[in-house]
Amino acid sequence: MITRSKRVLCATDGSHSADRAVDYAIDAAKTYGCGVVFATVNAVSEAEMAAEPLVWDSEMASTVDRQVRQPLEAASAKAKQAGLSDVTYVVLHGRDIAGNIVRYAADQGCDHIVVGSRGRTGLTRVLLGSIAEHVVRAAACPVTVVR
């Protein structure tokens, strides 16, 4: 469990493994009386959307934004329902998902990161990599990987 944390960053994308990470982060924040921020990374940057208005019209951009925010809003609501008051969420942008998570945690003073892992092995892991593994390797703070 988390010890003496002041702020936990929990990465979520709405997947089953991320949902387990959300539950863990909420329990830890309740136990240790710390704040929690839920984060997701949209691989399409705002600059890319602005640069290609024929592809990213306002309706499509709005739909993507709603889909990206839905798991964050659900996680935040769940945390508040559990009695937490220091709850926020953020959408990060860029293709380096793990790097964005680690940088945001460092920039915002988060002293613990919680991520989910699907537990891929073998060729699938080699081909697709593991965001959780990249976060563990790059973060300066403790990282909890929830499976």
Whole-prediction pTM: 0.88
Residue 3 has pLDDT above 80, yes or no: no
90 is a domain residue: yes
Look up the CATH number of the domain holding residue 16. Answer: 3.40.50.620
12 is a domain residue: yes
- Predicted pLDDT of residue 45: 74
pLDDT in tens, 9-48: 999 999 998 999 999 999 999 998 999 999 999 988 777 7
- Which pair of tokens denotes residue 118? 């699907």
Our count of domains for the chain comes to 1
Residue-averaged pLDDT of the chain? 87
- Which pair of tokens denotes residue 147? 């499976």
- CA distances 13 to 55, 68, 91, Å, are 24, 8, 10
Residue 57 has pLDDT above 90, yes or no: no
Full domain range(s) for residue 95: 7-146
Name the strand (E) or helix (H) holding 144.
strand 143-146
Half-sphere CA count of 31, side-chain side, radius 13 A: 12
